Structure 1
Amino acid sequence: MSRLSAALAAGLLLSLEASGKTVRGLFRSEAARQQHGQFITKFMYQGRNGLLACRLDNPALAVEKEARLLLYRDMEPDLDNLSCSQRLGKAQIAVPLSQEERNQTIPLQPSPTAWQVLYADRYTCEESSATPSYADLGFTLLLFNPDSAGNPLDHFSAEEAGLHSFYFLLLLAYFVACCIYVQPLHQALRKGGPMHTVLKVLTTALALQGCSALCNYIHLARYSRDGTGIPVMGSLAEFWDMVSQVSMLYMLLSLCVGWTLSRGRKPQSRPLQWERSPASTAVAVGGVVTQGGLLLWEQYSESGGEHHSYHAQQSLAGVLLLVLRVGLSLLLASVLYQITSTERSTLKRDFYLCFAKGCFLWFLCHPVLFLASAVFNDHQREKVVTIGVILCQSISMVILYQLFLSRSLYWEVSSLSSVSLPLTMSRTNHRGRL
């Protein structure tokens, strides 16, 4: 009965041009021969009634080629060491392609399991003979997980489930915070003052994170309907997030390194000002270029060209990016230690320590979460890292905002007049007396 309901659901979906994860392309006999099975896609099934549905453009050609899909559980590390015939024989499920539409129910999965889909035909293991010049076989492949009612209608692989709801809640939080704080922040930016540049960079970085979350939400909302989404929106989300990352890095390095290099020849009444010098600018620009290069390398080093979160480090570039973050954390720790070790004022030391908390949370959350994700299951790791990094970096921005817009702490450590500082208690009281 469950197989019948799965088949009926698939037929209804196909007739309505709706789909789960959708893969369109060409089955190529030559590619299958070279690779001992042409890799098509990977999908993580969970629960009962998972479904694979395949639509062919030319079923007669598929029959002549004896075309078939082979499904492997993603826990066969020795597949590459097997001969062609042994590899094809290792498939857990073989789906012959002899009809225009073919539906295959995936057996019950006790826990979320990744399945690889390969294409093979009668020519795949024929090493000596030449492959006839058949036309390539066009296909549309649909992959579904069961929804909460047990029907194969869930468009997301197990490792993607929940991200759509997370980005919706994140955007809702951004909207509420914007409604509450946009007016006082706008007033603070209009007044200028010693922290004007810092507040502009913080605001820009936060706005870029909001744009990234919006693009991700739009992409996943479309993906939930057609299984394809809007890849350009996914790429834009990654781009805005990368720009936000390098903006924050430039600001933090400029504040710490610039202040350290200039504190011996300039008055220290204003802690962590944006002090420009050739050396501090070179350090900040060097860090930004290095991180930006690694982020771009990490994005383009993944195979398959599919949209993915760069927070899931799965390449050499990703590992180097984590190492860079740890190295920058050590650099900032050294710089802030030099500042606090010679500072006599308790209030200023508290100011620097609060700034250090924001910095370390920003840089170290990614490496720490990446290591901590090893204790989670495969389908949870990417979500733990992605959601954790976004939340931790948002909290870091809140800490820095509170520090530089503080009504009491920054007013006392900066030794500036309350008239030039935004959101000060003394200015509020003065207005009340007037």
Structure 2
Amino acid sequence: MSWLFLAAAAVALLGSEVCGRTVTGLFRSEAARRQRGQFITRFMFQGDHGLLVVRIDHPPLAVEKESRLLLYQDLDQDLDQDLDKLSCSEKHSRAQFTILLSQDEHNQTIPRQSAPTLWQVLYADRHTCQEGAAAAQADLSFAVLLLNPDSAGNPLDHFSAEEAGLHTFYSLLLLAYLLAGCVYGRPLYQALRKGGPMHAVLKVLTTALALQGCSALCSYVHLARFSRDGSGLPLMCGLADFWDTVSQVSMLYMLLSLGLGWTLSRGRKPQSRPLQWDQSPASRAAAAAAVLTQGALLLWERCSAGGGLAGLLLMALRVGLALLLASVLYHIVSTERSALKRDFYLAFAKGSFLWFLCHPVLVLTSSVFNAHQRDKVVTVGVVLCQSISMVTLYQLFLSRSLYWEVSSLSSVSLPLTMSRASSRGRY
């Protein structure tokens, strides 16, 4: 499994983006001329007293270059396509606000928004609409702060409208993890120490849940810092993606290996080690192929702008894997005579399908919400559904007596089964 973790690390760390609404960098005349306006950032303002603050380090140079910021209100969510159809001068004339950069600091108040609205910020100067290559121009250092009103109505909130509330969600999620750890930590530790036929599965579930908790902790730390300075901790943002990716890789590998392993090994009844889900070459190959495909799609989604096609392919992959697992479990249940075994496999199916299908279903469901709520619905919903799925599988696999009844192995290969206990009683 070590190579799987390395693949997950590459996906998360290479694809991680710097998250922040305090934007720093250089105003570049050449970039502005090439793009007909250098893109700076986007931000979704909401309510009254939205504020944009821009600070520059060399006002005389800005005056010489006739530097300015252009603010565009994106009402139809297709602003880029509309602006690309315009000439350079027409593009600049479409700006709702133009901020001439002539001082160390400029403040621009955003008018009241009846609904959260996305705004786009571009930089331009007198060289932007010139034909041909312009003479080399010195770059201008800047810092741009974008602020929404807080609960008191003051422009101090660095969170865009589509990010508001995530900090509170992760704080409550960490509290839930802490309480659950205090209540169930000791019994789970004892179950892991005892070993038994479900030891491998419980280890993977525990690892996946712990990694999800690490991802939530990193997200909380990043958002806590973000709420103060608008930049956060990009390293924590990347680590949150890394831990979440490794957790999903572990769960995907376990669910597919376990489901396929039951089917592929039903004709064989190995007596040496119970539940050899990770020893079946066919199930390992199928699970590894699915993991590599998901990793490649995740990397594509993070590296591409928007990641629309990659996101669709990811959802299609998860739906396809759910259908594959459904066909496997249907074959098992349809040929199984024991009611206890059927209940076991059906409970396993519910937890697995919730894990596979929560993301595609939530993406489709989010379309009925407003634009600024969709990402939050998907983010919060996926975390909660995957946590519920893990808890469901925990409850299923911790029931050792039920596992003894449904094991595809011979009952004599399992320790302390009812058949052995009764045979010992005779002697």
TM range (shorter): 0.7 to 0.9
Mapped pair 1:121 → 2:125: yes
Give, in angstroms, the shift of residue 420 of structure 1. Answer: 5.2
Find the counterpart in structure 2 of residue 406 from structure 1.
399
Partners of 2:152 and 2:39 lie apart in 1 by 31
Find the counterpart in structure 2 of residue 179 from structure 1.
182
Displaced runs of 4 or more, over 4 A: 270-273, 414-417, 419-422
Find the counterpart in structure 1 of residue 197 from structure 2.
194
Q: How many residues of Structure 1 are paired with residues of Structure 2 in the alignment?
A: 392
SS at match of 2:138: coil
Partners of 1:80 and 1:336 lie apart in 2 by 51
Contact 2:62 2:102 in 1 (8 A): yes
SS at match of 1:78: helix
Give, in angstroms, the shift of residue 323 of structure 1. Answer: 0.8
Q: 2:98 aligns with which of 87, 94, 97?
A: 94
Find the counterpart in structure 2 of residue 210 from structure 1.
213
Find the counterpart in structure 2 of residue 138 from structure 1.
141
Partners of 2:322 and 2:377 lie apart in 1 by 22
Instruction: Considering Cα pairs closer than 8 Å and 6+ residues apart, tell me whether 1 or 2 has the greater RCO.
Output: 2
Mapped pair 1:23 → 2:27: no
Give, in angstroms, the shift of residue 294 of structure 1. Answer: 1.6
Contact 2:198 2:275 in 1 (8 A): no
**Normalising to structure 1: TM-score of the pair?**
0.86
- Give matches, 1:153-302, under 5 Å: 153-266=156-269, 274=277, 276-302=279-305
Contact 2:204 2:251 in 1 (8 A): yes
Q: Per-residue displacement from partner, 1:334-360 (whole Å, max 9, x unpaired)?
A: 100110010001111010000000000
Give, in angstroms, the shift of residue 318 of structure 1. Answer: 1.8
Counterpart amino acid of residue 209 in structure 2: L
SS at match of 1:102: strand
| Distance change (3 Å), C-alpha of 1:275 and 1:81 | closer
Mapped pair 1:340 → 2:344: no
Q: 2:366 aligns with which of 345, 362, 373?
A: 373
| Distance change (3 Å), C-alpha of 1:83 and 1:275 | closer
Contact 1:21 1:228 in 2 (8 A): yes
Partners of 1:61 and 1:116 lie apart in 2 by 24
Give, in angstroms, the shift of residue 280 of structure 1. Answer: 1.5
Q: Per-residue displacement from partner, 1:136-155 (whole Å, max 9, x unpaired)?
A: 01101111001111110011
Give, in angstroms, the shift of residue 409 of structure 1. Answer: 3.6
Q: Per-residue displacement from partner, 1:303-330 (whole Å, max 9, x unpaired)?
A: 7xxxxxxxxxx43222211111001001
Partners of 2:100 and 2:254 lie apart in 1 by 58
Q: Per-residue displacement from partner, 1:75-111 (whole Å, max 9, x unpaired)?
A: 3341100001100000011111111110000011100
| Distance change (3 Å), C-alpha of 1:63 and 1:94 | same
Find the counterpart in structure 2 of residue 12 from structure 1.
none
Give, in angstroms, the shift of residue 236 of structure 1. Answer: 0.5
| Distance change (3 Å), C-alpha of 1:157 and 1:220 | same
| Distance change (3 Å), C-alpha of 1:396 and 1:273 | farther
Counterpart amino acid of residue 58 in structure 1: H
Partners of 1:409 and 1:195 lie apart in 2 by 11
Contact 1:67 1:120 in 2 (8 A): yes
Contact 1:271 1:413 in 2 (8 A): no
Contact 2:197 2:274 in 1 (8 A): no
Q: 1:317 aligns with which of 310, 327, 347?
A: 310
SS at match of 1:62: helix
SS at match of 1:236: helix
Partners of 2:108 and 2:241 lie apart in 1 by 35
Find the counterpart in structure 1 of residue 386 from structure 2.
393
Give, in angstroms, the shift of residue 133 of structure 1. Answer: 2.3
Partners of 1:238 and 1:396 lie apart in 2 by 20
Contact 1:256 1:272 in 2 (8 A): no
**363-372 or 71-80, larger mean C-alpha shift:** 71-80
**399-408 or 166-175, larger mean C-alpha shift:** 399-408
Partners of 1:57 and 1:421 lie apart in 2 by 76
Q: Percent identity?
A: 73
Find the counterpart in structure 1 of residue 46 from structure 2.
46
Counterpart amino acid of residue 61 in structure 2: L
* Structure 2: segments with no counterpart, 5+ residues: 1-19, 422-427
Counterpart amino acid of residue 354 in structure 2: L
